[in-house]
Amino acid sequence: MSQLVALSLSIGVLGGVLTWLYLAVGLSVWAGFIAWACFFSCGGDTNALKQTIIGNIFGSLMAWIAAFLLLSTPTPAPVAVGVTVLVMCLAAHLKPLSSIPASVYGYASTFAYLLQTAQAMAIAELTAVDFHRNAMLLIAASMIGGAIFGFASGKVAGMLTKKA
């Protein structure tokens, strides 16, 4: 089986599993698929799994900080976003945070959820210790799972392409 067919089959089957599982437990399907794509854009190997998970979580944290600043201080939105994105990019000097795109995907996914989900952009929601209310927890968990599914899809595709 060709590598493209094997990867397509693996991603198709595991994509269905991710969707079923995420809908059952209330995780974000789209954030999972963004992390899955991030895993492959980071190289599709064990190091890419680490970069994706760490970067996605860090980006989500930075978006959470920006949202918290917006809601708890008179900080204008362009300043809150500008400062947190600056810090996020400068953090790429540290090896675990070196994948700026992975951090940006986490940041953007978190803000997408915050801006498109009724009631999500509120201090009570941001500080809730609840995966279904706190955007950072929800998106980070969804992205961790997506990265793991990406890793698994690569491994399954590798098994399908091996000749007996």
d(CA 20, CA 7): 20
Residue 162 DSSP one-character state: -
Residues 6+ apart with CB under 8 A from 152: 10, 14
Domain positions in the chain are 3-161
Kindly list the distances between the CA atom of residue 101 and the CA atoms of 38, 127, 151, 153, in Å, as whole numbers in the listed order.
Answer: 8, 26, 18, 21
Residues of the chain with pLDDT under 50: 164
User: Sign of torsion, CA 8 9 13 18?
Assistant: negative
Hey, what amino acid is at 143? M
d(CA 103, CA 160): 32
pLDDT of 163: 63
Residue 150 DSSP one-character state: H
Please tell me the number of Cα atoms within 13 Å of 49 on its side-chain side: 11
Predicted model pTM: 0.94
pLDDT digits (tens, 9 = 90+) for 22-67: 999 999 999 999 999 999 999 999 999 999 999 999 999 999 999 9
pLDDT of 10: 96
